């Protein structure tokens, strides 16, 4: 890479476009060449500067590059109210991505996905927003979750203007705590209103403290989250991975479940765990099966299991022809 100012050069290549479209963060929208996202009280924005410059073959370091993304776009970042350098935090540019990808490349499937979805990053979410977002995520799909969160933001967030357009901040924990069940249900969240209330109550009372959980180990933080009504294994793992710095978390949803029975069944087989015998035909996991499967996969992928999960997840959605 000849341009020392390019983000590829400074941070190892990353592609915010593929990350925001991966479904790991719900409140993003594309307008023209720009993407706008809600990050708590702020609206963050990046624009793809398509300067037509294509990457040249610089001595093999690009050999893993997917041919589809051989063009190195530049990106411009801004926000309102302004947060300097938010992209570093949100796209986890502080991670040693070279090390992460190198370790995970030991697995054949993840290695393929890394090549294919070059530049995909894990995104770091604002913890309270992440908690409430996944409180809405049970038994539904991404389109519905987006709708619920947009409705909640309109009703309980603060309107602000950015680039001459209207946006809403994410609702404060306090406002969601004060809301009644029917206020929340008016946003189309249905029975999940009880989970939202439970999360708000735990946060307001100090019973659940995200700053505290960030500094605890995976197991301990997870058991705290599981005490909240409506938060189960999968949702807790998403919250841990996306906002509480648990890169070793490995959320298992139906897509990852498919990937496991297809590509990683040998791992469970090797474990000799009898309660996993029926897993190949029945892809839905009981609580105990989830815990067991999660343990083996986390042991296999190691401290960066969450990155592996993200690449596998994105891959499964892609080959299934995702639509949202």
Residues 6 or more apart whose Cβ sits within 8 Å of residue 310 = 22, 24, 120, 122
Angle at the Cα of 298 from the Cα atoms of 297 and 304, rounded to 5 degrees: 120
Whole-angstrom distance, CA of residue 103 vs CA of residue 113: 14
CB of 36 to DNA, least distance (A): 18
Q: Give CA torsion, residues 14, 17, 22, 28, to 10 deg.
A: 130
Whole-number minimum distance, CB 141 to DNA, in Å? 3
Q: Does 37 bind DNA (CB under 7 A)?
A: no
- Choose the stretch contacting DNA; rule: CB under 7 A; options: 9-17, 226-234, 262-270, 300-308: 226-234
| 244 vs 122: CA distance, rounded Å | 12
Span from 22-30, 35-43, 101-109, 208-216 in contact with DNA (CB under 7 A): 22-30
Contact 160, 43 (CB under 8 A): yes
Q: Which of residues 53-72 bind DNA (CB under 7 A)?
A: none
Q: Which of 124, 234, 246, 298 binds DNA (CB under 7 A)?
A: 234
Give the span between the Cα atoms of 141 and 144, in whole angstroms: 5
Site string for DNA, 133-172 (x = CB under 7 A): ----xxxxxxxx--x-------------------------
Binding region for DNA (CB under 7 A) out of 31-39, 112-120, 186-194, 201-209: 186-194
Q: In what order do the strands lie in the sheet with 42-49?
A: 28-31, 34-39, 42-49, 74-80
Q: Work out whether 271 is an interface residue with DNA (CB under 7 A).
A: no
Provide the Cα torsion 117, 32, 243, 130; round to 10°.
Answer: -130
Shortest distance in whole angstroms from residue 87 CB to DNA: 21
Cβ 246 to DNA, closest distance in Å?
14
User: Given the complex with DNA, which of 72 and 92 has the nearer CB atom?
Assistant: 92
Token output for 263: 């590509």
Collapse the DSSP code of 48 into the 3-class scheme (helix H, G, I; strand E, B; otherwise coil) and give the result: strand
Among 120, 130, 238, 260, binds DNA (CB under 7 A): 238
What's the rounded Cα separation, in Å, for the pair 115 and 281? 30
Residue 207 within binding range of DNA, rule CB under 7 A: no
| 29 is a site residue for DNA (CB under 7 A) | no
Residue numbers at the binding site for DNA (CB under 7 A): 22-24, 137-144, 147, 185, 188-192, 228-236, 238, 251, 253-255, 275, 278, 286-289, 313
């Amino acid at each position: 890479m000849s341009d020392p100012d390019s983000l590829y050069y400074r941070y190892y290549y990353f592609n915010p476009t593929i990350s925001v479209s991966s479904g790991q963060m719900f409140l993003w929208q594309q307008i023209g060449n720009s993407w706008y996202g809600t990050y708590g009280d702020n609206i963050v924005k990046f624009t793809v500067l398509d300067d037509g410059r294509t990457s040249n073959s610089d001595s093999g370091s690009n050999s893993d590059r997917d041919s589809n993304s051989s063009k190195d776009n530049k990106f411009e970042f801004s926000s309102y109210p302004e947060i300097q350098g938010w992209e570093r935090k949100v796209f986890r540019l502080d991670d040693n991505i070279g090390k992460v990808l190198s370790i995970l490349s030991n697995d054949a499937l993840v290695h393929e996905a890394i090549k294919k979805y070059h530049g995909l990053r894990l995104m770091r979410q604002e913890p309270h927003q992440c908690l409430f977002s996944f409180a809405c995520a049970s038994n539904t799909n991404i389109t519905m979750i987006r709708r619920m969160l947009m409705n909640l933001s309109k009703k309980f967030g603060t309107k602000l203007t950015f680039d001459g357009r209207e946006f809403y901040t994410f609702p404060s924990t306090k406002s969601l705590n004060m809301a009644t069940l029917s206020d929340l249900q008016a946003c189309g969240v249905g029975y999940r209103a009880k989970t939202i209330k439970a999360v708000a109550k735990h946060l307001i009372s100090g019973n659940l403290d995200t700053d505290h959980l960030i500094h605890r180990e995976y197991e301990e933080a997870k058991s705290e989250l599981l005490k909240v009504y409506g938060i189960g294994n999968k949702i807790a793992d998403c919250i841990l991975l996306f906002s509480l710095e648990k890169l070793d978390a490995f959320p298992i949803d139906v897509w990852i479940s498919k990937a496991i029975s297809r590509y990683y069944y040998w791992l469970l087989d090797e474990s000799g765990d009898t309660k996993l015998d029926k897993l190949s035909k029945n892809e839905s996991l009981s609580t105990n099966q989830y815990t067991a499967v999660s343990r083996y996969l986390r042991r296999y992928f190691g401290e960066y299991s969450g990155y592996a999960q993200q690449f596998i997840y994105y891959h499964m959605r892609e080959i299934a022809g995702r639509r949202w």
